[in-house]
Amino acid sequence: MTSSAMPGRPAKQSRFARKALPYLLSLPALLMCIGILIPFFTAVYYSLLRYRLNLPAMKGFIWFQNYINFFSDPKFWNTLKISLVYAGLTVVLELLLGLAIAMLLQKRTRLNNFISILLLLPLMTAPALAALMWKLMTNPNFGILSYLVSILGFPDMKWGSDPATALFTVTLVDVWVYTPFMMILLLAGLRSLPPAPFEAAALDGVPRSFVFFRITLPMLMPYILTATLFRLLDSIQQFDIIYAMTQGGPGDKLLVFQVQAYLDFFQATNVGRSAALMIILWAITYALSNVFIKQWLKLREKAHGVG
Amino acid sequence: MSQLSLKSLSKSFGSFKVFENLDLQVANGEIVVIFGGSGTGKTILLRLIAGVEEPTSGEIQIDGEDATDIAPEHRNVGMAFQNFALFPHMSAAENIASPLRAAKASEDKVMAGVAKAAKLLKIDHVLGHAPRELSNGQKQRTALARALAAEPKILLLDDPLRNVDAKLRFEMRLELPRLLRQSGATVLYVTQDYKEAMALADRIAVLAGGKFVQVATPEDIYLRPANLGVARLFGDPSINTTDTVLSADGRSVTLAGKPLALAADHASHAGKPVTFGVRPEAVSLVKSGIPAEVMAVTPLNERVVLLLTAQGGWELLASLPSSAASIPDPGSTVHLAFAAEGTHLFDKATGERLHG
Amino acid sequence: MDHTSTLEKVIRGILLALVVIFFMFPIFWIFLMSFQTNESILRIPPSLAFTPTLENYIALVTGQMKTAAGSLQLNFMQNLWNSVLLSSASVIISLILGVPAAYAFARFKFRLGEDIAFTLLSFRFAPPLLVLLPLSLYFKTLGLTNTYIGLIWVYQLICLPLILWIVRGYFEDLSPDIEHAHRIAGYSWFQTFRKIAVPLALPGIAAAGLLAFIFAWNNFVFALVLASADKQPVTVGALAFVTASGIQYGQIAAAIIFSIIPTFVLAMFAQRYLVEGLSLGAVKG
C-alpha cells in the first residue's frame, strides 16, 4: 500500500479560484438572465415610444402616452376584462373539477393509479394541438360534438365562431387540457396528508362534510393555493388555445392580452402599444408571481427539507 | 514537531459564531478526542481540518506547513462520518478502494489495500455488497475501512459509533484503540459519550461555548476538571454539587450545617461563595460525619447508587461498591465522608476549579 | 371510508367513468379520424363503423397530398423533424448549462446564485411575448430570425428554469457528506461532481430532461413569432397545415396524432416524476 506517497508538495489552491467556482458554474445561467433582461428592458423602452413599424418616421419618445391612452381606450378595457374573466373562469372550474377528481382517485388502488396516469394525457398534449382537436370535433359540418348537441336540441351550435359561445368553447378546451394539472397536484397533496386526523374523525363518526371542510380543505390549502396561483399565472396569459382556436375572434370577443399584443405587433405593427400592453400584463403576473413564489417555496421546503 | 496544529481557528456562519480562536497541537500518532455536547461545532471542526469547509480565520498546519489553502484531496487525511457517507452506487469494496484509486495505485495494490482494511475490520464477507444491503454496523466498518485504506497520516473520526446499536458500540469501543494504534495515524476523534472519550483518548479536548475549556489526559480531566462544566460532563452518575461559602481561613466549608475541613488551603478565596462538588464514588459511609437520610437505593451493575438528602435539603448521590459491608435501607440515616480525591471546589462566579 | 355503501360505490364508478370519457374521448376520436377517408369523416350522423385506411399517414410521410384540385406538396415531415431537432438540442444544451448551475445553487449558497435562480423563475411566469416581441426585432438585426440556433437559444427560456429548479432540488436532497467523503478520499471537485453528484442525481436529471423536452415540444408561441414555415415545429406547422390543406380532415387528424404521440410516450417514462416537474420541484409525487 502506498504510504502517503505524495509527489512533491501538495498544490495550494488559491482562495480566489475556490471562491470563483460557483460563479463560473452559474455563468451560463447568468448570461441567460441577461439575455432575458435585455429584451425585457427593450420592451419597457418600446412601451414609452410612439413606434409603428409601418410609419418609421413617426418614431419618438412619448413617455407614458401609450399607457395614458389605455384609459380612454375601450379596446384596452375589453382586453383587461376578457383576460380576467377567462382566467377566473378557467381556474375556478379547473380547481373544482380537479379537486373532485383527485378525491375520487385518492385511494391508492391499481385502477385509480391507472386512471390518474391516463388523465395526464390531455396535459401532455400541446395546447395549440388540443385546440385543433376540439376544432375538428366542433366543426359545424361534421364535428362529433356539433352532432351530439344537435341531438340534445341545439341544432346550429357554432362553437368558437359564434360570439355567444366562443368563450365557452375555449374555456372547455382549457379545462380539458389543464384540469389534470390541478388534479395531479391536489392528488399528490391529498395522498401526502397524515392519516391520523381522518382515522380519528372516522372513529368518532364525524360527518363527511365536516371532515371535508374542517380537516381536508385546511390541510390541503397549501397545495390548493400553489396549484391555483400557478394556473392563474398561466391562464391570464393564455395564448396558444385562443389563438389556435379563434385568433381572438369572433370580433373582439377573445382578445386577451397576449393575443391582442400579438395582433398589435404583427398586424397593426404598433410596437409601442403592443409593448405597453405586455408591460401591464407583466405587472399583473409579477405581482401574482411574488405571492405564488412564497407559497411555492413553502411547499418546496416541505418536499426537500431545505430552502 | 506536532503533526497537526490549529492556530486561533475561528468559524462563523454569518453572525453566528461556532467557535473562536481554537488552538491545539496534536503530536504524531496521538489520539485526541474532541468532546462536547451536540451543537458545539465538533463536526465542523473536523470538516475544517479535512478541508471541505473553510475557516473564517486562523490557520491549520499539517506537518508544520500551512494547509489552510490546500484542497481536501491533497491533505492526506482520512475521515469517517457519523452518517457513514458511503457512496451508495458503489460496492463496499469499491468504497474502500476509492482513496487508493484516487492515489493512482496499481490494481494489485488496490486489491491488497482493500483486503487488508477489510480483514482488519472483519468485513471480508460483505465486500461485494452495495451499501444499502449492509447493516448499520457493517456500514460503519466499511466507512472506517475506507478512511483507513490509504493509510492517511491524519484520521478524522466523526462520532463513528453514534448510529450503531449498543452492543456493537460496546464491542467497537474495545476494538477501536487497538485498530487506531495499529494504523499509526494521528487521530482526531469526535464523540459526546464520555466513556468513549475516556477509553480511547491520549488526550481529551473539551469543546464548549465555542472554545476548548480543557485539553488534558483522561485522568486529568476526571481528577482535575478545569471547571464545574467539565466536572459535570465526565462521570456517571455526575458530580454532586451544592453552593456554600469558604471559611475565613480558607480551610473549611459548611455543608449541611456542619463544617468540613478541606485537604487543601484556599486562602485566596477565603470568605467567598463557592460551589462544592463531590463525585458519587468519593462518597463513603462512616460512623460519624455529615448526616443524611437514605431516600432510595438503586443497584447499578457492580455498584449501588444511593439517593441521599442531607440537612438543608441537599440531595446527593453516593455510588458504593456492591460488595460494601452493609448497604443501608431506605429511610435510615447515615453519616457521610468525602474522599479528598473526588472533592472539588469551584468559584461560584466563574465556575473555575480552585487549585489547592 | 371502509364502510362505503353500494350506492356510493356505484355513484363513484359513474363519476369516474364520466371523467375518463370526457378526458379520453377527444384523443380517441381524433385517433379514429386519422384512419378515415374524408368521405367517411363527413358522414352524418358520425359513425364508428368505417374501413380503416393508412392513406392519411402515407400522405403525410410521402409529402404528397391528393386533393380535388390535384396533388399538393406538403412538408409536415419537415415540421416533425424540426420539433425533434429543436426540442432535443434545447434540452441537451439546457442540461449541459443547467446541471452545473443547479449544482452550484444547491451546494454553494451565494447571493448571485439565488438572484439568478429567482430571476429565471419569475420570468418563467412572465408573458412570453413580452420578451419575444422585442427579441424578434433583435433577431432580425442579428440575422437569427428563422434559424435553428436562434430558436434553440430562446427555447432555453422554457427548459433552463425547469431543469435548474428540479435538478437543484435533487442535488439538495443528496447528503453533502457523501461528496465530502469523496473529496477527502482524494478526488478533485470536478471528479466528485462527475462521479458522485451527477450519478446520484441522475434519475432527477433524466426526469427534468424528459419534462423539458415535453414542454419544448408543446411550445407554440416561440416558433410562431420567430420561425417561418421551414423551421416551424409541429405545433405551429399543424395550424398552418389546416389553412393550407383546407378540408383534408383525416390528414389533419393524422398530423395531430403524429405530433402528440412522442410526448405521450415520454410522459409515460417520466410519469413518476411528472408531479415534481409540473410543480417545478415543489410537490413530490
Q: How far apart are CA B96 and CA B78, in angstroms?
A: 11
**Touching subunits for chain A (3+ Cβ pairs under 8 A):** B, C
Residue B265: C-alpha distances to residues A44, B274, C25 (Å): 84, 14, 97
Q: Are strands B4-13 and B16-26 parallel, antiparallel or unpaired?
A: antiparallel
pLDDT in tens, B98-121: 999 999 999 999 999 999 999 888
Q: Does A283 fall in a domain?
A: yes
Contact assignment for A2 to B69 by CB distance below 8 Å: no
pLDDT at C70 over 70: no
pLDDT of C167 reads 94
By C-alpha distance, which of C83, C53, C46, C72 is closest to C250?
A: C53
> Cβ separation of B47 and C180 shorter than 8 Å?
yes
Question: Cβ of B153 and A4 within 8 Å?
Answer: yes
d(CA A108, CA A204): 24
Joined grid coordinates for residue C80: 416533425
| Mutate: best of C37, C133, C189, C211, partner A, most A CBs <10 A | C133
User: DSSP string of chain A?
Assistant: ---S---SSPPBPPHHHHHHHHHHHTHHHHHHHHHHHHHHHHHHHHTTEE-BTT-GGG-EE-TTHHHHHHHT-HHHHHHHHHHHHHHHHHHHHHHHHHHHHHHHT-S--HHHHHHHHHTHHHHHS-HHHHHHHHHHHT-TTT-HHHHHHHHTT-TT--GGGSTTTHHHHHHHHHHHHHHHHHHHHHHHHHHHS-SHHHHHHHHTT--HHHHIIIIIHHHHHHHHHHHHHHHHHHHTT--HHHHHHHTT-STTTT--HHHHHHHHHHTS-BHHHHHHHHHHHHHHHHHHHHHHHHHHHHHHHHHHS--
Torsion of CA C223, C225, C230, C231, to 10 degrees: -30
Mean pLDDT on A111-126: 94
Exposed/middle/buried for residue B30 (C-beta within 10 Å: 0-12, 13-18, 19+)? middle
In a domain, A250, yes or no: yes
Looking at the structure, give the CATH architecture of the domain made up of residues B237-347: Beta Barrel (2.40)
- pLDDT at position C110: 86
Residues in chain A closer than 8 A to C98 (CB atoms): 28-29
Amino acid A260: pLDDT:
92
From chain B, pick out residues whose CB is under 8 angstroms from the CB of A2.
Answer: 100, 103, 105, 109, 150-151
A163 assigned to some structural domain: yes
What angle is formed at CA B44 by the lines to CA B235 and CA A19, rounded to 5 degrees? 170
The residues in C 232-251 lying below 8 A from A, measured between CB atoms, are 234-236, 238-239, 242, 249
User: In Å, how far are A14, C102, C173 from C211, measured between CA atoms?
Assistant: 39, 16, 20
Among A104, A107, A117, beta carbon nearest to C271: A117
What single-letter amino acid sits at B298? T
pLDDT at C63 over 70: yes
Residues A283 and A264: their CA atoms lie apart, in Å, by 19
Alpha carbon distance B141, B123 (integer Å):
7
Flag whether pLDDT at B133 surpasses 50: yes
Domain range for A176: 56-304
Query: Given A1, A6, A12, which is nearest B69 (Cβ)?
Result: A12
pLDDT above 60: residue A306: no
Chain B contact for A7, CB < 8 A? no
What cell does C255 get?
398530423
Q: What would the mean pLDDT of C269-284 be, rounded to a whole number?
A: 84
Cβ neighbours of B113 in A, within 8 Å: 1
Residue A205 confidence class, pLDDT cut points 50, 70, 90: confident
Give the start-to-end residue ranges of the domains of chain B: 4-231, 237-347
SS3 B53: coil
Q: Do B146 and C185 touch (CB under 8 A)?
A: yes
**Which cell numbers hold the place of B117?**
482494511
For A20, residues 6+ apart whose C-beta sits below 8 A from its C-beta are none
| Peptide bond before residue B328 is cis, with ω within 30 degrees of 0 | no
| Exposed/middle/buried for residue C278 (C-beta within 10 Å: 0-12, 13-18, 19+) | buried
Mean pLDDT over B248-253 rounds to 84
Indicate whether B325 pLDDT > 70.
Answer: no
Question: What is the pLDDT confidence band of residue A305, given thresholds at 50, 70 and 90?
Answer: low
Amino acid at residue number B314: W
How high is the mean pLDDT of chain A? 89
Q: Any idea which of B281-285, C49-53, C146-150, C281-285 has the lowest mean pLDDT?
A: C281-285
Provide CB contacts within 8 A for C94, sequence distance 6+.
C155, C156, C159, C160, C163, C209, C212
Average pLDDT of chain B is 90
Amino acid C71: pLDDT: 65
Distance from CA of B179 to the nearest CA of C (A): 20
Indicate yes or no: CB of B150 within 8 angstroms of CB of A18: no
- Which of C111, C182, C184 to mutate: most B Cβ within 10 Å? C184
Per-residue model confidence (pLDDT) at position A6: 44
Q: Residue A170: pLDDT above 90?
A: yes
Domain B4-231 has CATH 3.30.1360.40: no
CB-side neighbour CA atoms (13 Å) of C207: 24
- Tell whether the model's pLDDT for residue C68 goes beyond 70: no
- Residue C270, φ and ψ in degrees, nearest 5: -90, 5
Architecture of domain C76-278: Orthogonal Bundle (1.10)
* Contact: C30, A136; criterion CB under 8 Å: yes
Q: How many residues does chain A have?
A: 307
Contact (CB<8Å) C120/A180: no
Q: pLDDT tier at B258 (50, 70, 90 boundaries)? A: confident
Q: What is the pLDDT of residue B230?
A: 92
Element (H, E) at C9: helix C6-33
Across B202-217, average pLDDT: 93
Q: What is the largest CA-CA distance in chain B?
A: 75
Which chain B residues are within 8 Å of A6, Cβ to Cβ?
74, 76
Strand segments, DSSP code E, in C13-96 are 64-67, 70-73
CB of C142 within 8 Å of a chain A CB? The answer is no
C160/A contact by beta carbon, under 8 A: yes
pLDDT at res. C37:
87
pLDDT at residue B81 in the model: 92
Distance in Å, alpha carbon of A295 to nearest chain C alpha carbon = 9
CA–CA dist B274, A128 (Å, integer)? 83
Confidence band, pLDDT 50/70/90 cuts, at residue C66: low
Distance between CA atoms of residues C218 and C235, nearest Å: 7
Listed ranges A1-5, A48-52, B321-325; the one with the highest mean pLDDT: A48-52
Which chain B positions have a beta carbon within 8 Å of C178's beta carbon? Answer: 85-88
pLDDT in tens, A58-104: 888 888 988 988 889 899 999 999 999 999 999 999 999 999 999 99
B33 — pLDDT class (breaks 50, 70, 90) = very high
Cα-Cα end-to-end distance for chain B: 33
Please say if the pLDDT value at position A145 is more than 80: yes
Residue A37 φ/ψ, nearest 5 degrees: -70, -35
pLDDT above 70 coverage of chain B, percent: 99
Is B153 an 8 Å CB contact of chain A? Answer: yes
Domain count, chain A: 1
Residue A5's pLDDT is: 40
**Of A165-174, B163-172, B300-309, C146-155, the least confident:** B163-172
| pLDDT at position A9 | 53
pLDDT at B356 over 70: no
User: Concatenated DSSP letters for B158-181?
Assistant: ESTTTTS-HHHHHHHHHHHHHHHH
Domain locations in chain C as residue ranges: 6-73, 76-278
The residues, ordered by sequence, that sit 6+ positions from B42 with a Cβ below 8 Å of its Cβ are B34, B35, B36, B158, B159, B190, B192, B207
Check whether C17 has a pLDDT greater than 80: yes
Alpha carbon distances (Å) from B100 to B97, B106, C108: 5, 9, 28
Judged by CB atoms closer than 8 Å, whether chains meet at A2 and B75 is answered as no
Measured between CB atoms, does A290 come within 8 Å of chain B? no
Asked if the Cβ–Cβ distance from C263 to A296 is below 8 Å, we say no
Q: Which residue has the higher pLDDT, B158 or A205?
A: B158
What pLDDT band is residue C90 in, cutting at 50, 70 and 90? very high
Using CA of residue A182, residue A187, residue A192, residue A197, what is the dihedral sign? positive
- Under 8 Å CB pairs connecting chains A and C tally to 279
pLDDT at A146 over 70: yes
Residue B59: per-residue pLDDT? 93
Nearest C-alpha neighbor of A90 from the set A174, A214, A165, A154: A174
Q: Does A288 contact C280 at a Cβ distance shorter than 8 Å? A: no
Residue C1, pLDDT score: 47
pLDDT category, C3, cuts 50, 70, 90? low
CA C205 to chain centre: 16
Please state the φ and ψ torsions of residue B179, each to the nearest 5 degrees: -60, -45
- Yes or no: say if C164 and C122 are a contact pair by the CB < 8 Å rule: no
B76/A10 touch (CB, cutoff 8 Å), yes or no: yes
Give A303 to chain B, closest Cα distance, Å: 21
- pLDDT for residue B288 is more than 80: yes
Q: Is A19 on the interface with B (CB under 8 A)?
A: no
Give pLDDT, residue A7: 45
For residue C155, what pLDDT is reported? 94
The predicted model gives B218-230 an average pLDDT of: 92
DSSP per residue, A148-177: HHHHTT-TT--GGGSTTTHHHHHHHHHHHH
Q: How far is B59 from chain A (nearest CA, A)?
A: 14
User: Looking at residue A1, what is its pLDDT?
Assistant: 36
Beta-carbon contacts below 8 Å between B and C: 63
Mean of pLDDT values over A4-26: 70
